[in-house]
Amino acid sequence: MMRTRTAATLPTIDEVKSAADSVYRVMHPTPHYCWPLLCERLGTEAWVKHENQTPTGSFKARTAVVYVEELMKRAPQTRGLVTATRGNHGQSVALAAKRFGLPAIVVVPLGNSIEKNAAMRAQGATLIEYGEDYQAAREHAAGRESDLGYHFVPPYHRDIAKGVATYWLELLTAVADIDVAYVPIGMGSGICSGAAVRNGLGLKTKIVGVVSELAPCYALSFEQGRCVDAPVSTKLADGMACRRPDEEALGFMLENVDHIVRVSETEIAEAMRLMFTETHNVTEGAGAAPLAAALKERHQLRGKRVVLIASGANVDHDVFARVLQGDSE
């Protein structure tokens, strides 16, 4: 159940509106549609917020441009940017670096998505492959920050949340009386931003997080009320492949999130197929996870207005081909 809120620690509606000015210099608002076949499948009114339709193929297109704009106001001498990512955050940092004329280094784990790596290089980033998972890549990126004097762009920060919150403001001011919204959790910016806007608008929408069963750290942390590390072995949901939660983001979740649903690789793959066959949209594993969670809880949703956050479309061709053929590996 939702804990007592402390909305003052989250971005305000005025801050989100100001952030929108920065976001809309690099992209347009994304659409939200109520898809009849998904409504039939879930037995209720189901809307999709299409963050898979941004210039970088994910909601992260909104984030680093806001963060770096604020950074350049307080530290105009910034020499460059460095970050760690599985792909979507890195594309955002590369996009922001190009906008502000800065070099960017992006560290990814070994074996990272070939197509996400190519997209980051195409945005102008210098790519470094290091470590077995995101956490190892992040620790290496922190070392490069010290060596080069670059600024490390974190995956979760209040200014990051302000950028993400712009899609929530678009959604929650356009679709009335939403009962529940399902949101994938990577490092927490999407779900915390949803809480910020929901609170700021005085709405009663329940915010429900979604994680992979094979990357359960936020679910475990939410259940225990403290940060809990957990191993990551998900292949499909790399956008949710977090081993160590962000303490600040978890604190917001504990106060503002209704509950967190764990979904399996099989359930994610089926949701990716359904998003394609029933809306003709490509979604990566994290982007389809909200549908997987809603299907799991559909008996609780009858008669409700439900939103699914399609957070991204960045799945490699070969992986998506296997998923469409019925494979979940």
Residue 3 confidence (pLDDT): 41
Residue 113 confidence (pLDDT): 87
Residue 328 confidence (pLDDT): 67
pLDDT in tens, 243-281: 999 999 999 999 999 999 999 999 999 999 999 999 999
Provide the phi-psi class of 202: left if phi over 0, else alpha when psi is between -120 and 50, else beta: left
- Please answer whether residues 299 and 280 qualify as being in contact, where contact means their C-beta atoms are separated by less than 8 angstroms: no
Q: Mean pLDDT score of the chain, rounded to an integer?
A: 93
Q: Using the CB atoms, write b or e for 116-145: b if 16+ within 10 Å.
A: bbebbeebebebbebbebbbbbbebbeebb
pLDDT in tens, 35-93: 999 999 999 999 999 999 999 999 999 999 999 999 999 999 999 999 999 888 999 99
CB-based contacts of 18: which residues, under 8 Å, 6+ apart? 162
pLDDT along the chain (329 residues), means of 10: 45 95 95 98 97 96 96 95 92 95 95 91 94 90 86 91 96 97 95 95 98 97 96 92 91 96 98 98 97 97 97 94 86
Residue 133 confidence (pLDDT): 86
**pTM recorded for the entire structure:** 0.91
Q: Where do the domains of the chain lie, and which CATH numbers do they carry? A: 7-59+158-324 (3.40.50.1100), 61-152 (3.40.50.1100)
Q: What percent of the chain has pLDDT over 70?
A: 97
